[in-house]
Structure formats: structure tokens, C-alpha cells
Amino acid sequence: MILLITPYASVQQCGKAIEAAISESVDVTEGLRQAIVRLRTGEYSVVVIDQSLMEAEPEESEIVLQHVGPAVPVQVNFAISGVERVVREVRAALHRRKREERIARESAARALYSEVKGSVTALLLSCEVALETPDLPLNAARKLQTVQQLAQDLRVKLSSATGG
């Protein structure tokens, strides 16, 4: 969902144009205080803030920016910007957000892989050594093989998640 914050009445048309162009619903509010309430209760991908409001009410603007969460804040001067430009700005912000989310996921996957790869390797080696134990009961051998296969599957999943 996208939040538009501006006192201009023509923003309703802009909201409809964004919904049509991007296929994402738009929530419109006139002021920063209303925006703060909506940001506390809803989740937004982009928050478009009228530049005139930010300049007129800097303290409340700062509070809004503190509450945007994972949303991408976009400043637009609705007095001089056409609907097409606002749509382009929102589309660009959504692309930035998707790219940043992808990079964060990949980074988290690499960090997780780095943390657990030693443990998975040790688990695989331990299973291999245990399976070489003479006179190992068949039931125990099957269980160790299951653990070994699970560890191998985990290694493959971690490698594919990190591109390695």
C-alpha cells in the first residue's frame, strides 16, 4: 500500500493514477498528524510526502520519517509536479525497495551460511566416521544415514540460497 500525504485536493486523482499504473492501493491523508496515525496502524511500501508540508512542519515531518518503517519515503512538490512525474517517482521507489529487500535477503542467506557451514561439515564428518564403526547395529546405521542425508540436504539448500 502507498501513503500519499498532501493537503492538495487534486491528490485524489493522483492516487487513482498511481493505483492504475502500479496496481497497488493508495491511502491519502491531508496532514502529517493523520499520517503518523496511519503509519502506526498500517504497513506501506512507499510514503509520498508533500515537500511543502515537510518545510512548513519540520518537527512533525521528522516524526513521520521515524515511523515509515520499511517503506521508502519520497518527497514530491505536488504544487508543481504532474501526475506522471509522481507515478514515475513512486515506481522508482518501489524498484529501489525491491532491490534493497533482495540484497538484504541475499546478505542474510550468506551470513547464515557462513555461520552454519562449519557445523554442517562437522555433522557430515561425524556421521561418516560413526558409520565406519565396526559392528554398528543396523538400526543405528539407518538413523545415522538419515541424519547424514538431512545434513547433506541442508548443505545443498544453504549453498543454493547463497548462489554458492
Provide the residue ranges of all domains of the chain, joining segments of one domain with +. Answer: 2-104, 105-162
Return mean pLDDT, the chain: 88
Of residues 109 and 35, more confidence is placed in 35
Helix ranges (DSSP H) in the chain: 11-22, 32-41, 51-56, 58-66, 83-131, 138-162
Is a pLDDT exceeding 90 seen at residue 130? yes
Is a pLDDT exceeding 70 seen at residue 157? yes
Instruction: Say what the pLDDT of residue 124 is.
Output: 92
130 Cβ contact list (under 8 Å, min separation 6): 136, 144
Percent of the chain with pLDDT over 90: 36
Is a pLDDT exceeding 80 seen at residue 9? no
CATH superfamily of 2-104: Response regulator (3.40.50.2300)
Calculate mean pLDDT across residues 69-75.
Answer: 90
Instruction: Say what the pLDDT of residue 163 is.
Output: 67
Residues 32/5, Cβ–Cβ less than 8 Å: yes
Instruction: Say what the pLDDT of residue 91 is.
Output: 92
Calculate mean pLDDT across residues 50-63.
Answer: 89
119 Cβ contact list (under 8 Å, min separation 6): none
Calculate mean pLDDT across residues 78-106.
Answer: 88
